[in-house]
Structure 1
Amino acid sequence: MKFLAKIFFILLITSSCDKSNKYSEGHFPDVVVNLEAINSSADDYNMDLPVIHDEHMFHFSSNRGNMNHFDIVGKNLILQWDYAAEHLIIDVNKSRGTSLPMRSLFDSVNTFCNELGPYSFTYESQVGNNMQLTYLFLYANDCAGNFDIKFTYIDPTENNQIAAASPTSLAMVNTEANELYPTFFGEDFTWESRYITSPASVQKLVYCSDKDGVYDFYQIDLTIDDPIVSLSSAEAIAPEKLSISSAEGNDKCAFINGRLMVFTSDRPGGYGGYDLYYSLYEGNAWSEPVNFGERINTEFDEYRPVILTYDTGFDNNLLLFSSNRPGGKGGFDLYYVGVEKMID
């Protein structure tokens, strides 16, 4: 059985593009927009930008199914730039149902505990004489009484059936404290318009933990030519606390795209609650974090940012995040906005 991996976002760049238009390339909006097609009256946040076989699945955490705990849910999302109308369309593909592999993943991951912080990617590996696509999925849940990072994966089996593996604890980083929001770092490990990511470019695993009393960022060195084998290691690794962690606040939800990190923090100097920040990897270190400013942040909480770059097709980058600001459908809602390209 041959599996087709398609890109998460569909970029429709037409040959009839009128160069006299205001935007000769697609342009993500300069003002924050509610992701109405996804949001509900419950809390919707902690999104991811994954790709799974023949699906354009947008993952996020929500308590819409049960107000007592959060599950990982997903919607098929379509993105299209209309050159004639100079308009960005983001909507749910209601004609496409949830695939069997994704239903298997949701059944495997979701429990009566809280599942937060989905993070995933698709990679290609050689299996015998064939190339195989594997979908790696990381998240955290609190079934142990504290949050632990776990992972599962989906790949074709010998009888051409696809099912998610049983979740495995990331023993190399988990402690009796809370560990959440894993993200891989590698200067060449980038999230662009292509759908397959090379695990060989991963250099470190970054996550947050409150083992010192507040949430800080930690990292471990990690080589994952074979992600499943590497992440299955039961040997604990002493982590390094990142210098950009604030001594006076909580730093959470890092998402790294190449040399660009975005995250949320309630450190002093923000606009109120949790704000969104970014940092650039320069000279083997992360730069002093910069607040995204009042165009994006409010006196309320802005949470779990994710940033996607496009090597072609758009003249700015896409930032997605969640917020409990007024004007949404209820609780935390998902939002998106365009931000300038900070790295070539």
Structure 2
Amino acid sequence: MRRILPILTLLVVSNACDRDRYPQGIFPENPINLSDVNSPFDDINSDIPFVGHSVYLVFSTNRANSQTMDFNLTLFPVDFTWDKTDGILSVSRSNTLFDDTYTSFLNLVRRTESTAHEKGPYTFLENQKNSILIFSREINGKYSLFTEQEVAIPNAKVTNQHQIMDEVSNEMYPSFYGRNFKKGAEQSTQGKPEKLIFSSDRDGSFDIYEVDIPSGDTPMQFLTDERPKAIRKLGINTASNDHMPFMFGDLLVFSSDRPGGFGGYDLYYSIKTETGWAEPVNMGPRVNSEYDEYRPIVSEHANFTNRLMIFSSNRPGGLGGFDLYFVGIPKP
């Protein structure tokens, strides 16, 4: 698959006498509906494989299965365009007619489709020739982790099922992290994942767990190793549901229905420190609503002063069901 530089290009719309009045892009302080992507059905659980001229957004939707309402993964290219003259951000579907990178990744996503539910996608570039898509698929009423790998033969499937803990609990929303690992960067600069974080209802309600990746293993070697794994429950969990985690650097974002929120499920964040995890902080009424906010993801883009966060919500004013929203959050 041809790779593209890990930058979000700022498209210049300016005249000679007034150019670069707003040289740095800013993602909005309040959530905006991704209306060019959403549908009257449920659009949830997104991920960004890597950041380039266009943002390739992988997410789960039941729009194609209006009779059965099965959730499958889909891929939409999105352009975030910053006007340096007027300081205005515009968002639109990208034209990918002749984009080999998009076509290759679209084939990878399409190979995950089944008659079951697929949710919680997470992408990882293991090397220049192998992109890995991790997701959860419902089998016999329980979600297990699966992987689909990029292969040279079109439409060939290399799908593997992975059980981290046991067969009686749901295992969902995987995410890698490590001291030098940065999701979405080029393979040469992204660093090596050291841990896998995910959520499971092993003890009744959903909690967030982590497990070490052996230093000599690649992520795929770790996932396919059937030996028992030393799994730890994070100390930030509560008696409520702490769910849908995502790591970006040392930032953990997740969804929880713990007491003290603004609605059903709210978005929270915690920072990984040398001594453990900082006390989770509610993202507040600017981001959260009286309804449910699900599965946040975070990415960082060159020439923008803040980070991009995308999440799903069933708040009023959307196109229907759960919609995807985007908002800016501060850099450290």
Q: Report the alpha carbon displacement of residue 225 of structure 1 after superposing the two structures with TM.
A: 4.9
Q: For 1:250 and 1:92, how far apart are their aligned partners in 2?
A: 34
Give the structure 2 partner of residue 87 of structure 1: 88
Moved more, 211-220 or 79-88: 79-88
Q: For 2:23 and 2:172, how far apart are their aligned partners in 1?
A: 40
Amino acid of the structure 2 residue aligned with 1:337: V
Amino acid of the structure 2 residue aligned with 1:116: K
Give the structure 2 partner of residue 11 of structure 1: 9
What is the DSSP-based 3-state SS (H/G/I as helix, E as strand, rest coil) of the residue aligned with 1:330?
A: coil
Q: Report the alpha carbon displacement of residue 12 of structure 1 after superposing the two structures with TM.
A: 2.2
- Unaligned ranges ≥5, structure 2: none
Q: For 2:264 and 2:176, how far apart are their aligned partners in 1?
A: 26
1:219 to 210, 228, 232: 210
Q: Report the alpha carbon displacement of residue 195 of structure 1 after superposing the two structures with TM.
A: 3.7
- Kept in 2, the 8 Å contact 1:139–1:180? The answer is yes
Q: Report the alpha carbon displacement of residue 13 of structure 1 after superposing the two structures with TM.
A: 6.0
| Shift in alpha-carbon separation, 1:10–1:44, aligned structure 2, 3 A | same
- Kept in 1, the 8 Å contact 2:197–2:210? The answer is yes
Amino acid of the structure 2 residue aligned with 1:70: F
1:122 to 122, 125, 140: 125
- 2:203 pairs with 1:204: no
- Kept in 1, the 8 Å contact 2:210–2:233? The answer is yes
Amino acid of the structure 1 residue aligned with 2:41: A
Give the structure 1 partner of residue 136 of structure 2: 140
- 2:177 pairs with 1:178: no
Q: For 1:244 and 1:163, how far apart are their aligned partners in 2?
A: 42
Q: For 1:27 and 1:261, how far apart are their aligned partners in 2?
A: 22
- Kept in 2, the 8 Å contact 1:153–1:164? The answer is no
- 2:330 pairs with 1:340: yes
Residues 1-344 of structure 1: pairs in structure 2 closer than 5 A? 3-7=1-5, 10-12=8-10, 14=12, 21=21, 23-51=22-50, 56-67=55-66, 68-96=69-97, 100-124=103-127, 132-155=128-151, 157=152, 161=153, 165-191=157-183, 194-196=185-187, 201-223=192-214, 225-247=217-239, 249-310=240-301, 312-341=302-331, 343=332
Q: Report the alpha carbon displacement of residue 151 of structure 1 after superposing the two structures with TM.
A: 0.9
Count of aligned positions: 325
Give the structure 2 partner of residue 127 of structure 1: none
- Unaligned ranges ≥5, structure 1: 125-131
Q: For 2:180 and 2:70, how far apart are their aligned partners in 1?
A: 36
Amino acid of the structure 1 residue aligned with 2:161: S
Amino acid of the structure 2 residue aligned with 1:245: N
Q: For 2:86 and 2:249, how far apart are their aligned partners in 1?
A: 32
- Kept in 2, the 8 Å contact 1:191–1:309? The answer is no
C-alpha RMSD over aligned residues: 2.6
Amino acid of the structure 1 residue aligned with 2:135: Y
Percent identity reads: 35
- Kept in 1, the 8 Å contact 2:9–2:53? The answer is no
- Kept in 1, the 8 Å contact 2:27–2:304? The answer is yes
Amino acid of the structure 1 residue aligned with 2:75: G
- Kept in 2, the 8 Å contact 1:42–1:331? The answer is yes
| Shift in alpha-carbon separation, 1:71–1:220, aligned structure 2, 3 A | same
Q: Report the alpha carbon displacement of residue 102 of structure 1 after superposing the two structures with TM.
A: 3.5
